[in-house]
Amino acid sequence: MSSLMQKIKEVLPQLSEAEERIGKYVLGNPEAVPHMTTKELSQKSGVSEATIIRFCKSIGIGSFKSFKLALMKDLTLTDTNLTDFSVLDKKDSPYDLFHKVIHVNKSAIESCADSMDRKELAKAVEAIQHAKKIVFFGVGGSSTAAVDAQYKFTKLGYHSITSLDFHYMLSVIPHLTENDVFVAISTSGKTKDVLELTRFAQKKGATAIAITTLSKSPLYKEADIRLCTPNVEQDFRIGSIPSRMTQLTVIDTLYMSIFHHVGEKVLQQYYDARSEMESLRR
Amino acid sequence: MSSLMQKIKEVLPQLSEAEERIGKYVLGNPEAVPHMTTKELSQKSGVSEATIIRFCKSIGIGSFKSFKLALMKDLTLTDTNLTDFSVLDKKDSPYDLFHKVIHVNKSAIESCADSMDRKELAKAVEAIQHAKKIVFFGVGGSSTAAVDAQYKFTKLGYHSITSLDFHYMLSVIPHLTENDVFVAISTSGKTKDVLELTRFAQKKGATAIAITTLSKSPLYKEADIRLCTPNVEQDFRIGSIPSRMTQLTVIDTLYMSIFHHVGEKVLQQYYDARSEMESLRR
DNA sequence: TAAATAATGAATTTAAATTTCATTATTATA
DNA sequence: TATAATAATGAAATTTAAATTCATTATTTA
């Protein structure tokens, strides 16, 4: 716990009722407060604006602005890992939500570092490097990552395929061989479509890479290579927001790694494409 | 040299005379500026207050307040000068790259806070709330955000459309009316396809929301509502990685805001869909 | 119970940020 | 070269945020 927050906690019992309410709100939503005005904070915590000012003085800070600055500094120093989004509030304005989204997404990406296994990652890069074809598949919220990956790897010169359509995929997979890679994306690791296609691809000899959470799910168990995303809060309100960020971070890593490797070879083509794009830019 | 100061240095030659004067003052007195008002800074640097505001926008930051905050952060974070990706190294292992990707993505999301204008955001949410149809369009790296948005807003019960195909979009837009919203996604704000479709949609009376960087681009100028993403480093090696993260963060915010609003109404349907999904889960 | 004190928010004032608008300078075009 | 179009600029007005004042209510003390 950092110094300002600590300080607030300490003096909380000595504060008046209204000021205590502010203190509690601040402690509960520290990352939201630095972007608020006195008016907003007064409404959120159910006191008057005047009391906000008094609160600042009570905890020994001269102005509301200084208070916000101090709080912000506090938060950056102790990168709070409040991954949960339970702090959503009826009164939240779009701007408040914006800052909460920033916070959640940042936390999600940060926590990617915890779940990734470097050996598995190395294996995945190795497999993709030598792949003739790469097929990505994800449904629902995970389809975003699949679409993104397909685009990125096409840019790198790969024969890269994805589709939201299960039956389309059924027609793609029979043509896979040992040289190919099937990347299955599913947060839960239980999605039936994804599982069935993964098994099918494996039967054709393709290497199955799973981008999924570390769990006892069938996808986790059966995949050849596991790239784990962290178990981020799955609140219904935020839906798949944070998990999609983690999936994309994994995709980005694969992309960067391959780019890094094929490097110079692709680079010239890349520049060509860029200048061509400039002139053609539709 | 930290990133914001670096950025100012870079754009300095492109700025107008008055704005250049501000830039020089800031570079010369970085530690003084965060505590100044627009009036003070205008006097110190010998320009008008209005020009101060324009200067902030010129360097891609949405308000003077955000500028001061960004500058302050810049000055305190002397050690983390990894913001640029030039630190890519031939010897980097996939795992090294993974951590760099995490860093870049995190920074990109963080800097979203600088460029967003709360009023524009409120306007966007308002427009979408009352929309009958929402059309998303982005090409290249920006298509990911469009696809993601389309999925999210469909889940919220909207008639939500996107396609990668310009000609398909040409057949969609004629049916738009004043009640509809067209969301154009383009980092540069110059993509021809996006511009043409945006103008077409506006001609049909739809409200055009642009998710783009704060710049003098045609898309920025012509859009009815501007949701600005920060000017993240556009290194060819990382391509559109960070800008896609910022676009998604904006999409997430819109989604959360609308969700928050329609809230209870959709919630029941949402739960129904979930349990249905459990049983149907393919 | 009455006086003193403390707590509070509504209303006001002050100050800061932002926008608008008219003016001037610059550039492109006939 | 003259003229229109565009961009740059600051003065003034507007909007927004912060801070103060003051009247009201609750609480404590004698």
Question: Can you read off the two tokens belonging to residue B73?
Answer: 């952060």
The answer to whether A227 and A199 have CB atoms below 8 angstroms apart is: no
Residues 41-80 (A) near nucleic chain C, CB < 7 A: 46-51, 54
- Report the chain B residue with the minimal C-alpha distance to residue A142: B148
How far, in Å, CA of A65 to CA of A61, rounded? 9
B82 touches strand C (CB under 7 A): no
pLDDT of residue A35: 87
Q: Which residues contact A189 (CB under 8 A, 6 or more apart)?
A: A210, A212, A213, A215, A217, A218, A219, A220
pLDDT of residue B133: 96
Please state, in angstroms and as integers, the Cα–Cα distance from residue B206 to each residue in A39, B180, B219, following that order: 34, 5, 15
B38 touches strand C (CB under 7 A): yes
SS3 labels along A249-262: HHHHHHHHHHHHHH
How far, in Å, CA of B129 to CA of B254, rounded? 10
B38 touches strand D (CB under 7 A): no
pLDDT digits (tens, 9 = 90+) for B228-255: 999 886 676 777 889 999 999 999 999 9
Of A69, A110, A121, Cβ closest to residue B106: A110
pLDDT of residue B79: 42
How far, in Å, CA of A96 to CA of A44, rounded? 11
B222/A contact by beta carbon, under 8 A = no
Please state, in angstroms and as integers, the Cα–Cα distance from residue A8 to each residue in A43, A70, A272, following that order: 20, 12, 58
A262/B contact by beta carbon, under 8 A = no
Contact A94 B253 (CB under 8 A): yes
Q: Which amino acid is at A41?
A: L
CA of B50 to C1' of D14 (A): 13
Mutate to test the interface with A, among B90, B92, B102, B154 (most CBs of A within 10 A): B102
Residues 62-101 (A) near nucleic chain D, CB < 7 A: 63-65, 68
B16 touches strand D (CB under 7 A): yes
Of B102, B112, B190, Cβ closest to residue A102: B112
Alpha carbon B231 to its chain centroid, in Å, reads 8
Of A95, A105, A116, Cβ closest to residue B249: A105
SS3 B280: helix
Please state, in angstroms and as integers, the Cα–Cα distance from residue B221 to each residue in A97, B82, B208, B216, following that order: 26, 33, 11, 7
> pLDDT per position in chain A (282 positions), as tens?
557 888 888 888 888 888 889 999 998 888 888 889 999 899 988 899 999 999 988 887 878 988 898 888 787 765 544 444 445 566 678 888 898 899 889 889 988 888 888 889 999 999 999 999 999 999 998 999 999 999 999 988 899 999 999 999 999 999 999 999 999 999 999 999 999 999 999 999 999 999 999 888 999 999 999 998 988 766 666 778 889 999 999 999 999 999 887 766 666 666 666 666 655 554
Mutate to test the interface with A, among B95, B142, B190, B247 (most CBs of A within 10 A): B95
The residue ranges of chain B whose pLDDT is under 70 are: 1-2, 77-91, 233-234, 236, 263-271, 273-282
Mutate to test the interface with B, among A75, A90, A109 (most CBs of B within 10 A): A109
Contact A110 B92 (CB under 8 A): no
How far, in Å, CA of B273 to CA of A101, rounded? 24
Q: How far is A16 from chain B (nearest CA, A)?
A: 31
CA of A53 to C1' of D25 (A): 20
A66/B contact by beta carbon, under 8 A = no
pLDDT of residue B1: 44
